[in-house]
């Protein structure tokens, strides 16, 4: 290991020599200075882990040294020494950045003990910084604009969001209901160049056809019976920002023609108006429908499809990214603990198994609702099978497996389920690791690594 470097600033030759010999024998690399000015010169030349500094010295005393060197000693631990010290002096020295204070005369063990304590403090500081950095890296990897995921599929989605966010290019988000399409739209907007302007959302399937056109494009006073004033449409509200057209597959054919014109010409005509308005809007659309099939049925215009499908972001269903389930579960437990003023500290291994093997037709939204219900109904601090809705009970769930009894944390429960799934896959394939990896939808090297980790050889 690299020796710790220490600087002794002491005007008394005998004390300086004694400390130099003592600390040299204790494994430190020692340099010396006779006053504060020499000490300043020394820290200009090289970095020290520790400084032992006397307070009362000629030319420049220890307190002046501390004040002068404060900005250069951010990563250095300073221990002050004095035969004339008081409590007030010690407090003042610590305010200036000193770690500790030793009264002269002192025993050699006292110096070494103080240095060991300082070393332990530095080790803990370093460990804390490392852990903070690790947590930040994990959060960056698993949390993107409030979207929590660690699966390879979702990391690819995050990468795509970063690539398109700054551009006006139209994006079509596809995927089953409950996969988080609106969250993706928000992530694109708020991570892009338009984030300081409006994000306007409209559900194309949630507004009657007779009202949808006026919602999108606005109207002029007198355009129809109840139009007693001008109304600004959503496209105009989104000028210089983003409009999110959710469930665009529900858009009536008559409005599909008008939307196509808006996308092509970047202009709108409010109902009852003869003039046009230019709009600068970034369009993000989403649908759970297969628009290619809708085109074949004559329910969706092919030209509009190609206009909105410049960049396609597909959100995989939750059943195809089960490695995200423990992470999402932990997040939702924390969320609803706060929201419902509960204190759920863990879930049983059987609950986690059900979560990992259930197909989740409602995807992340269904998982969220199940956890909220379970936390609301839980009688203890742990989520049990009895807290789940009937469809998630073992006798009604699509698959079932035996897992060890007992309660565990979310992390431990997911490990138990993972181990159980690997055991079943290996059993089903007669120990053929290549086939087992295919069943588990992981690579063979990862499976081998997991086998070693769980000692399944």
In contact, 267 and 278? CB cutoff 8 Å? yes
Give the β-pairing of 267-268 and 277-278. Answer: antiparallel
Digit-coded pLDDT (tens) for 126-173: 777 776 665 555 545 455 767 888 888 999 999 999 999 999 999 999
Instruction: From the options 3.50.50.60, 3.30.479.10, 3.40.50.2300, 3.30.70.370, give the CATH code of 5-131.
Output: 3.40.50.2300
Q: What is the DSSP letter of 3?
A: P
Per residue in 6-41, pLDDT (tens digit) is 999 998 999 989 999 999 999 999 999 998 899 999
Distance in Å from the first CA to the final CA of the chain: 38
* Domain 5-131 identical in fold to domain 320-453: no
User: What is the model's pLDDT at position 400?
Assistant: 42
Token digits of residue 345 = 């500290």
Percentage, residues of the chain above pLDDT 70: 92
- Write the pLDDT tens digit of every residue in 239-288: 999 999 999 999 999 999 999 999 999 999 888 887 889 999 999 999 99
Residue for token digits 């056109």? 213
Q: Which CATH superfamily is domain 147-316 in?
A: P-loop containing nucleotide triphosphate hydrolases (3.40.50.300)
Q: Classify domain 320-453 at the CATH topology level.
A: Helicase, Ruva Protein; domain 3 (1.10.8)
Q: At what angle do helices 62-69 and 36-45 cross, to 10 degrees?
A: 30
Q: Give pLDDT, residue 420.
A: 82
Residues facing 382 on adjacent strands: 346
pLDDT at position 401 is 42
Question: Which parts of the chain register pLDDT below 50?
Answer: 1, 139, 141, 396-405, 407
Among candidate residues 350, 423, 424, 357, the one with its CA nearest the CA of residue 388: 350
- How far apart, in whole angstroms, are the C-alpha atoms of residue 441 and residue 447? 10
CA distances from 412 to 46, 209, 266, 404, 419 (A): 48, 51, 54, 11, 11
Collapsing DSSP states into helix, strand and coil, what is residue 102? strand
Question: What pLDDT does 447 receive?
Answer: 84
**Domain ranges within the chain, ordered by starting residue:** 5-131, 147-316, 320-453
- Per-residue model confidence (pLDDT) at position 409: 62
* Cα 365 to Cα 98: distance, rounded to the nearest angstrom: 54
For residue 243, report the phi and psi dihedrals to the nearest 5 degrees. -115, 135
CA neighbor of 52 nearest in space, from 13, 86, 98, 107: 98
Q: Rounded to the nearest 5°, which phi and psi values hold at 280?
A: -110, 95
């Amino acid at each position: 290991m690299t020796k710790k470097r220490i600087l002794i600033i002491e005007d008394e030759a005998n004390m300086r020599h004694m400390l130099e010999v003592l600390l040299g024998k204790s494994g430190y690399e020692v340099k010396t200075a006779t006053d504060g000015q020499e000490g300043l010169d020394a820290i200009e030349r090289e970095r020290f882990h520790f400084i032992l500094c006397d307070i009362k010295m000629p030319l420049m005393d220890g307190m002046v040294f501390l004040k002068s060197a404060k900005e250069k000693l951010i990563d250095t631990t300073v221990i002050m020494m004095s035969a004339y010290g008081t409590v007030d002096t010690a407090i003042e020295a610590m305010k200036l950045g000193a770690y500790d204070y030793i009264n002269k005369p002192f025993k050699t063990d006292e110096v070494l003990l103080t240095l060991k304590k300082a070393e332990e403090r530095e080790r803990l500081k370093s460990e804390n910084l490392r852990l903070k950095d690790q947590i930040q890296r994990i959060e960056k990897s698993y949390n993107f604009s409030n979207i929590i995921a660690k699966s390879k599929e979702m990391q690819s989605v995050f990468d795509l969001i970063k690539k398109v966010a700054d551009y006006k290019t139209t994006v079509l988000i596809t995927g089953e209901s409950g996969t988080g399409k609106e969250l993706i739209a928000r992530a694109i907007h708020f991570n892009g160049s338009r984030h300081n302007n409006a994000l306007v959302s409209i559900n194309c399937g949630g507004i009657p056809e007779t009202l949808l056109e006026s919602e999108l494009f606005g109207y002029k006073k007198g355009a129809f019976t109840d139009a007693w004033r001008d109304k600004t449409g959503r496209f105009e509200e989104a000028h210089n920002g983003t409009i999110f057209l959710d469930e665009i597959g529900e858009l009536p054919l008559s409005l599909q023609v008008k939307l196509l014109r808006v996308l092509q010409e970047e202009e709108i005509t409010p109902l009852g108006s003869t003039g046009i308005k230019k709009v600068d809007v970034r369009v993000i659309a989403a649908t759970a429908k297969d628009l290619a099939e809708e085109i074949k049925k004559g329910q969706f215009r092919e030209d509009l499809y190609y206009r909105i499908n410049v960049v396609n972001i597909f959100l995989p269903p939750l059943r195809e990214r089960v490695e995200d389930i423990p992470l999402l579960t932990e997040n939702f437990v924390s969320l609803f603990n706060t929201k419902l003023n509960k204190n759920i500290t863990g879930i049983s291994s059987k609950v986690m198994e059900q979560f990992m093997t259930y197909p989740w037709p409602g995807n992340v939204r269904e998982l969220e609702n199940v956890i909220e219900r379970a936390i609301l109904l839980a009688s203890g601090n742990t989520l049990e099978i009895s807290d789940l809705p009937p469809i998630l009970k073992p006798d009604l769930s699509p698959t079932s497996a035996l897992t060890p009894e007992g309660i565990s944390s979310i992390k431990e429960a997911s490990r138990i389920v993972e181990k159980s799934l690997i055991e079943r896959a290996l059993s089903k394939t007669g120990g053929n690791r290549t086939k087992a990896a295919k069943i588990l939808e992981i690579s063979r090297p990862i499976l081998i690594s997991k086998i070693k980790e769980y000692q399944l050889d």
